[in-house]
Amino acid sequence: MMKQILQKDIAEEVSSNPFYSNIKNTSFLVTGATGMLASYIVHLLAYLSKEKKQKIEIYALVRDQKKAETYFEDYVGESFFHILIQDVCEKIDLSESVDYIIHAAGNASPYAIEHNPTDLIKANLLGTINLLDFSRKHPVKKILYTSTREVYGDVTNLPDGSFLSEDSVGLLDHYDNRSCYPESKKMAEQIFKSYGRQYHIPYVIARIAHVYGPGMNLKNDGRVMSDFISDVLGGKNIEMKSSGLAVRAFCYLSDAVNALFRILLTGNCTVYNVANENEPISVASLAQKIVTLGGTASQKVVYLKNADLSGYCTYVRKGLSTARLSQLGWAPRIPLDEGILRTIHSYRT
């Protein structure tokens, strides 16, 4: 069912947005290509190349060849599609030049933050430096870096009800266990800025918040949307590790990818927030919604005591302003209920 949902999403996305025709006869390098966002981007580019005859050359950088060949089995052997097997933390092993790079390699899950922080840091820092050094030797039209809303840190110093613009600044406790993720993302942004200043490499940064959809990792992820959907699909009760009073706002995958391409192709600033603030929801309400939409009559939400929350962000949330992104013509299209249903159906056979 995953393939059908993705194909429907991508066909709908391309038919609704004529700006995708602007990337015909181009080439893309996509890092972390089997991740949720990156794999959707690869599928969309392949659709444009294969179905729309736009002649787009795709280089998908991954560490796991078997996983990549499974994800992209419909394109293996196609002349436009190339799998580049390597760790982004090593020198980029590509002799060809590309027009665009989308740097999406790196893990953001609480599980990875808790159990593999050093690899996470390496992907964000060494991976970024390797791509920028590649771009010095092979000039590109633009690089897009997928950053995170978490670089803003603790923003309790800002007034209640305020939204974070791209110029907002908060505080990060650099010694907190979780800070391996936002601190390395924050430093990667500075690396982009420094290379841009010194070597004039064109780049844009997307600070992304809470994207979900087909292709999410449902095993040992630790983020609420992934864990709740995994529980429901497994026929289990949803297990809450907190009171559930924290509020989140979720952006469906196709809306996020639409934002990324708008930023890459038409962005005239260097940093953009990407979020869907139309339907903020408490974690407890989200859990109940997922049970209602995808569970059985016997499934329910249960609350655990003394759960380990060390990999989770505890900062008080403020919404992201997407005014800058909206000026590029972007607006989210998929309501939360519809996005959850599409995601659940994509994992059912």
H/E element, 217? none
Q: Following DSSP, what letter does each residue of 156-168 receive, concatenated?
A: TTSPTT--B-TT-
Yes or no: say if 113 and 96 are a contact pair by the CB < 8 Å rule.
no
Mean pLDDT by 10 residues, the chain (349 residues): 91 94 96 97 97 97 96 96 97 96 92 92 97 98 97 86 91 93 97 98 98 92 93 94 90 98 96 97 96 95 73 70 98 98 92
pTM, rounded to two decimals:
0.94
Domain ranges in the chain are 2-215+252-277+314-338
pLDDT at 222: 86
In 10 A of CB 128, how many CB atoms?
A: 27
pLDDT at 333: 96
pLDDT at 319: 93
Q: Where are the alpha helices (DSSP H) in the chain?
A: 2-16, 36-50, 65-71, 110-115, 117-137, 180-199, 224-233, 253-266, 283-294, 323-326, 336-346
H/E element, 222? none
Which CATH superfamily hosts domain 2-215+252-277+314-338? NAD(P)-binding Rossmann-like Domain (3.40.50.720)
pLDDT at 315: 59
Yes or no: say if 99 and 55 are a contact pair by the CB < 8 Å rule.
no
Nearest to 98 by CA among 50, 60, 146, 147: 60
The two tokens of residue 83 are 């799998």
N residues, the chain? 349
> From its phi and psi, is residue 306 left (phi > 0), alpha (psi between -120 and 50) or beta?
left
H/E element, 17? none
pLDDT at 309: 55
